[in-house]
Structure 1
Amino acid sequence: MSNVNWTALVILVLLFGTVTIMGFMATRWRRPTSMESLDEWGLGGRSFGTWITWFLLGGDLYTAYTFVAVPAAMFATGAVAGFFAVPYTIVLYPIIFIFMARLWSVSHRHGYVTPADFVKGRYGSRPLSLAVALTGFLATMPYIALQLVGIQAVLEVVGLGGGDNLLAKDAPLFIAFALLAAYTYSSGLRAPAVIAFVKDTLIYLVIIVAIIYLPSKVGGWDAIFSAAQEKMAKPSAADPAKPTGAFIPGSQQMWAYATLGLGSALALFMYPHSITASLSASGRNVIRRNAAILPAYSFVLGLLALLGWVAIAAGTKPIGLDGKPNAQLVIPQLFEDMFPSWFAGVAFAAIAIGALVPAAIMSIAAANTFTRNIYKEWLKPGATPKQEAKVSKLVSLVVKAFALVFVLLLDKQNAINFQLLGGIWILQTFPTIVFGLYTRWFHRWGLLAGWAVGMVYGTYTAYNVINPVTKGHFGGSLSMIPGLAQLGYIAMTAFVINAVIAVVVSLALNLLKVPNGADETIKGDYFADAGDPRVEKLDVGVHETTASP
């Protein structure tokens, strides 16, 4: 404990305690008569306006791991691995502007809670709905675990997260996630919605101060870019025949950069937690307004990414308490080295709190998916709204516990590898969900066949990617694109194969007039808004301050 930065730790604990209290009090915010339904517990009563949704989506999409991993990738290997995250989030918002309002409307009209609910209603196919549900559930699990990596990075730098002492190493994580589990269980989606205000304010404050203050301490931006360019040109430690990274992506890396950006943009709003945050909005125009103003986070993300190169110019040495280099520690270490302890504590709190918001939303989304599309659909069809809420609360606890055990017992590289695999998987649900919002031409069995082939191809190809350092499988998300002899994002290649299979099989089945299931939606459902008299009423609960839609 002699290496603990006590000032930073005290600030971290005080801010963490503040948001914990806010999480427990969130159950009183816009209080309904009952929280015993997924509409209330899992979607906040579908009542959040533009700014609440903006903070909630920002807190959900820009996670603690984002703020640790993006600059770490810039620090370690340069623009291809790190800066692609900035253009992909810019490309993302026009995409969701086009289709997310339609998903909100049809979900609002029929009371859908998860994307698999929509798939079941649109195609009348339980197997296809189950495929989407399982994919979303499995892809979300490692994403939750990665939020712990962000907290671990902070704890290591502050002096608590490493070593052999079990209490010093693991107790803070147990406490943090026990508190998270408790207030998520009681307050549901309202808890991360309230905490997101604090998280995003801290993130904006810390990054803007850092991007103004730090360059002047290390010689200015010319020195920063020169130091980064020099490091990226040096021989790689893993393979001296290759450079460390790419300061600017070369012609050999253009396909990798482009497919990573586009594939990630298409995939992000397929995750259950992204859709859960969107469906909590009070109107379809709330979604569209957020698609217009969320790029503000992309601006901050770009500044954050550049801090990875600031750390190179500053000579930051991200060494863990185990004595080994760990690029994931670079941003916390940079703040501890360059700022007063009190401000470092604020920065550490921003990262730690940044883990709570997405972890809460992800666990709620995973629990809702399990409850609606596995428990109710396959195990207990007659489950009441109260039973659904109870099961979802319990599953949210199990999901958090699994994520905690996963990170504590396995190497964190495994969590990173499985999250990369989850990104490949989740993109394979895009044809079923997004194409279905516009047309019924695709046959349910064609979509299921495309999904299956895409999943198998993506998993097998990712398995064959070997990590150059650990020599383990699932070592990355890039592989050669068949027929192009170019390195590209595996998820995007699998997606193209998926779509082609879906088109070919659908064409054949439609020509053979094979039944395509019953569609419970109509054209007008995709344009419904709050106040539409045809909208299905919430199962339980009437807000004291906001009427049910």
Structure 2
Amino acid sequence: MLTAMGVPGQIPLIVAFLILALYTYSSGLRAPALIAFVKDALVYLVIIVAVIVIPVKLGGWDMVFGGAEKALATINPLTHAAKGSLLLNGNNQLQYVTWALGSALALFLYPHSLTGVLASNSRKTIKRNMAALPAYSLVLALIALLGFMALAAGIKPIKGDSTTIVPVLFDKMFPSWFTGIAFAAVAIGALVPAAIMSIGAANLFTRNIYKEFFRRDASSKEQAQVSKLASLVVKIGAVGFILILNTQFAIDLQLIGGIIILQTLPSVALGLYTRWFHRWGLVAGWVAGMLVGLVMLYQIPNPATGHLHFGGSAYSLANFGLHSKVQIYVGFSPSW
């Protein structure tokens, strides 16, 4: 696939990977921590401007939601049903509630979340960041509105890739100089969490596998070097996933990852809270939750993408033998 400038679409991704690899390899966690200020400023600027300017160009928020509702009411030729609706119906309200709760519970179980917390220089830093988290979450809600704007504006993704819909919207609605700023915000906004994720994975490998099973007497310098190399391997694997696998599957993989990490919550939370539970009982519960969760995921198709398995995270209660079309979030059910 070529970009608008005739450059192969993989080239920008590879360049972004090289930048990410170089600045995290040389500076470690300090690099994403410093650039996060630039990232937050750009994201806030772009989103605030977008939610003000784009609705004005489209004729107001009533036109945005009205146009989005009409676009979602059109029939999907693959599923022979409406593409969606602005409001949740009775079948997916429970799924949304359990998904929101499950995602919130899983958020701080991810290793990269703990990496940022443990790297803080004081308790006050953590409190200050947690106090600002609701404001940042509000920006995420505003980002969701960009999808409605794209539908109302009749924006079409590039070659059916839905992940391109917001960049195309920016390209159509803004002058070229501000479109460049918006694209920079998207790029930097992706690099910062990717850097922290790779560092978190590298630290897990170094401290829990390399030092535990291969080099118990490894020095701090040796552990730092192993972490750098492991971080590079993680980044290369991430780029390989994007280049080789279908983009939609990469998104589905994120949903699967959230479900998998959520299964550690009962055993980890209960195990840290009290020693009353036997450790092998907690492990058995985790194994059971993982197996049940993966089986449930395997049974979920996605007619819109043609996936027969692992097509999403919404599990119909009809699979339990109930006469109901109500859906529930997979991650919320196996080990609870």
Q: TM-score, normalised by structure 1?
A: 0.58
> How far apart, in 2, do the equivalents of 1:266 and 1:440 lie?
22
Counterpart among 219, 223, 231 of residue 71 in structure 2: 231
1:160–1:272 distance in 2 versus 1, CA, 3 Å: farther
CA distance in 1: counterparts of 2:15 and 2:93, whole angstroms? 44
Aligned equivalents of 1:160, 1:379: Cα separation in 2:
48
Mapping 1:275-290, distance limit 5 Å: 275-290=114-129
Q: CA shift at 1:437, angstroms?
A: 3.7
Percent identity of paired positions between Structure 1 and Structure 2: 54
> Are residue 185 (structure 1) and residue 35 (structure 2) matched?
no
Could you say if the C-alpha distance between residues 433 and 288 of structure 1 is closer, same or farther in structure 2, counting changes exceeding 3 Å? farther
Letter in 1 for 2:30: R
Whether 1:195 aligns to 2:30 is no
Query: How big is the shift at 1:160?
Result: 5.5
Query: Which of 238, 248, 263 is the matching residue for 1:413?
Result: 248
Unmatched 5+ stretches in structure 1: 1-151, 162-167, 497-549
> Partner residue of 2:154?
315
- Structure 2 Cα separation of the partners of residues 208 and 471 of structure 1: 36
Go from structure 1 to structure 2 and tell me whether the alpha carbon gap of 1:201 and 1:281 turns closer, same or farther (over 3 Å shift). Answer: same
The residue aligned with 2:83 is 244
1:121-270 maps to which residues of 2 (within 5 A)?
156=3, 159=5, 168-240=8-80, 242-270=81-109
Structure 2 residue aligned with 1:291 = 130
Q: Does 1:494 align with 2:334?
A: yes
- Structure-to-structure mapping, 1:289-368, within 5 angstroms: 289-318=128-157, 320=158, 324-368=159-203
2:310 corresponding residue in structure 1 = 474
* Distance of aligned partners of 1:159 and 1:379 in 2 relative to their CA distance in 1, 3 Å threshold: same
Q: Which has the higher contact order (CA 8 A, sep 6+)?
A: 1
Contact 1:237 1:244 in 2 (8 A): no
Instruction: Give the Å deviation of 1:483.
Output: 7.4
- Aligned pairs (5 A) from 1:468-547: 468=303, 469-481=305-317, 482=320, 485=324, 486-496=326-336
Conserved? CA contact 2:271–2:279, under 8 Å? no
- In the alignment, the residues of structure 1 paired with residue 68 and residue 248 of structure 2 have an alpha-carbon distance, to the nearest angstrom, of 25
SS at match of 1:479: strand
Query: What is the CA distance between 1:159 and its match in structure 2?
Result: 4.1
Instruction: Give 1 or 2 for the bigger CA radius of gyration.
Output: 1
For 2:281 and 2:321, how far apart are their aligned partners in 1? 24
CA contact (8 A) 1:424 1:458 kept: yes
Secondary structure in 2 matching 1:252: coil
Q: Answer whether contact 1:367 1:395 (CA < 8 A) is retained.
A: yes
Alpha-carbon displacement from aligned partner over 1:47-88 (angstroms, at most 9, x marks no partner) = xxxxxxxxxxxxxxxxxxxxxxxxxxxxxxxxxxxxxxxxxx
Q: Which one of 448, 455, 469 corresponds to residue 283 of structure 2?
A: 448
Q: Deviations over 1:126-176 (max 9, x none)?
A: xxxxxxxxxxxxxxxxxxxxxxxxxx9xx94x5466xxxxxx232222222
Give, in angstroms, the shift of residue 417 of structure 1.
2.3
State the number of aligned residues: 331
Aligned to 1:62: none
> Displacement of 1:480 after TM fit?
2.4
Root mean square deviation of aligned Cα: 1.8
Partner Cα distance (2:245, 2:142) in 1 = 32
SS in 1 for 2:328: strand
Separation in 2, partners of 1:364, 1:420: 21
Cα separation, 1, equivalents of 2:252 and 2:264: 20
What is the Cα deviation at residue 446 of structure 1? Answer: 1.3
Q: TM-score, normalised by structure 2?
A: 0.93
Question: Does the 8 A contact of 2:111 with 2:201 survive in 1?
Answer: yes
Q: Equivalents in 1 of 2:16, 2:146: separation in Å?
A: 27
Aligned to 2:143, what secondary structure does the other structure show?
helix
